[in-house]
Amino acid sequence: MQTEVKEKPRYAIVASVQLPEVSDVEFEASLTELSELAKTLGFQVVQTFVQKRSSFDRTAYMGVGKLEEISQFVKRGIRADELEDDAQEWDASAVEIDALLVDHEISPSQARNLELAVGCEVMDRTMVILEIFHRNARSRAARAQVEIARLGYMAPRLREAAKLAGPQGRQRSGMGGRGAGESHTELDRRKVRDRIAELQREIIAMELERKTQRARRLERQGIGLGGVSLVGYTNAGKSTLMRAMTGSEVLVANKLFATLDTTVRALYPESVPRVLVSDTVGFIKNLPHGLVASFKSTLEEALDASLLLHVIDASDPGFQRQLEVTDAVLQEIGADEVPRIRVFNKIDHVGDEAEQAAWTAELQTRYPGCVVMSARRPEEVASLRAAIVSFFQQDLVEEELLLPWSAQQLRGEIYSHCQVLEERTEDEGSWFRVRGEPEKLRVLREQLNPGSQGREKEYWEV
């Protein structure tokens, strides 16, 4: 009988410096976010150390007194009875701090000095996010993009890592000379640069392939295919909404950055015109610029879209900050001019029915035209779907077409590419009152004309 091996818990502490220009609300929200990131990475945060300073300490990020306090905490470790989970299963002497998480991006020398001062591994906010992306990337393109970002982050830290390893790691030969260890570091950095260049070439090739595939997809579907991209803060419920609108089995997890690779599905039930929905990577405050650049191809689904659904967690007290972060990132990638519907999701997480109704009214007053809903309520998903279809149907035109008895084989084409409002039978054939895109209606008219049968038959077979 095979027994399940339970993984030993990992524990982390968080450290952050509050600068004068950062409000208490914003500071607390950032700490909460880092704790959620830590949870995604598999850590349980057991203690938080904060310090108010006019600026970061250039040497080790925090002041000497606070470093000593953290060091003493790390040396003491955590008793099993102080923990919330099932760590009591483990020997109390083995319950120790695995990492110190810093809520800012710090320099390589600051990280090295901090690690020496507190006595455990140090990960800054950027490193935490990069590690999550590294673990969650699935597609070849996503893995390559994440590796570029990680290599770019690690390159300037190689020298500090050699220093941290001590005399053995540096392998200095001679007094004050350029030792073998330092030469090895330079070699590593050159290898990193070469690997980044190789990955960038691979990404360019994959980008061309992606554009070719997308062009073929549009060609197969015909002119005027509608595209909707779900954008918004990570963990706002985008994947749940995607699943509800398309009937697809996409990953849904209560974790930050559960989705890294773009998923594309058709709106269900299918509409006229056919609408494709894509779920993109979630945004986050202080997303490293290297990752914004690396995931440009993923986020470009938002640029390709005709409509953006900006999904916001209505139950999160800090939603305003999240909304601003998403707006800023969309502006950075040039997607801020794409038409947008703000969707306040998870309204069912806001108290009882009266509280939900009051908060819905408040949001609709603040953000005219927004949609307030829960992705778990079918009737509200149906209402959002109707709004999406209405957006894509605003440029459709109504027309009457006569389908002669001699051309009944084209009946399927009419139903496939138009919304049939009415059908009636007369002596000369079937009359259809339809709504469709002007170009497709033109094709249908020419196809019903025997003189253009050959050319239009080729169009519908694309």
**Residues tagged in the binding site annotation for Mg(2+):** 239, 259
Q: Of 237, 228, 278, 229, whose CA–CA distance to 256 is shortest?
A: 237
Alpha helix (H) ranges present in 234-284? Answer: 238-246
CA distances from 26 to 29, 140, 273, 346, 433 (A): 5, 36, 43, 22, 56
Sequence-distant (≥ 6) Cβ neighbours of residue 348 within 8 angstroms: 356, 374, 376, 377
| Two structure tokens written together for 387 | 């709004």
53 alpha carbon, distance to own chain's centre? 33
Residues of the binding site for GTP:
232-239, 257-261, 279-282, 345-348, 374-376
CA distances from 73 to 35, 42, 49 (A): 18, 21, 10
* Phi, psi dihedrals of residue 223, rounded to the nearest 5°: -70, 145
Q: Which residues of 272-310 are buried (b: 16+ CB within 10 A; e: fewer)?
A: bbbbbbbbbbbbbbebbebbeebbbbbbbbbeebbbbbb
Cα separation, 171 vs 329, in Å, equals 45
Residues of the binding site:
232-239, 257-261, 279-282, 345-348, 374-376
- 241 exposed, middle or buried (CB, 10 Å; 0-12, 13-18, 19+)? buried
